[in-house]
Amino acid sequence: MIELKQHFQIESARFLPHLDSAHPCSRMHGHSFKIILTFKGTVHPKLGWVMDYNDISNVVKPILEKIDHRVLNEVPGLENPTSEMLAKWIYEQVIKKIPLLTEVNVSETAQTECLYRGET
């Protein structure tokens, strides 16, 4: 088995509605979210790859267009857009089209990472 990882980035605005008003994340602010998707599969004996990165991009880009340069709170399912909820949202959208998906990693800052593997 081989794991492929592909990196994406979006810029989005959000606020976290359930926090005390003194918390900075309760206010509207933006992040450059770094998103890493992991796919696991077997190598095709002739092509020598698990999957074409271009095919991954062609599936993922339209999904990310729903959340790039937008207010995440306005996207159905992301009313409370923590990195945790965002990772789960992306996972659920992508796995419908690419069953080899195993992980979604979302970083909202250079110092943080949130990893979702599909368990609830």
Active site (catalytic) residues = 25, 69, 108
Question: What angle do the packed helices 83-95 and 53-65 form, to 10 degrees?
Answer: 130
Q: Is 114 in the site for Zn ion (CB under 5 A)?
A: no
Q: Binding string to Zn ion for residues 12 to 51, with x set by CB under 5 A, is what?
A: -------------x--------------------------
Please, what is the minimum distance in Å from the beta carbon of residue 14 to Zn ion? 6
Nearer to Zn ion (CB atom), residue 11 or residue 52: 11
Nearest of 79, 88, 78, 71 to residue 31 by alpha carbon: 71
Give yes or no for a contact between 4 and 53, defined as CB atoms under 8 angstroms apart: yes
Which residue lies nearest Zn ion, judged by its C-beta?
Answer: 25
Burial of 113 (0-12, 13-18, 19+ CB in 10 A): middle
List of residues contacting Zn ion (CB under 5 A): 25
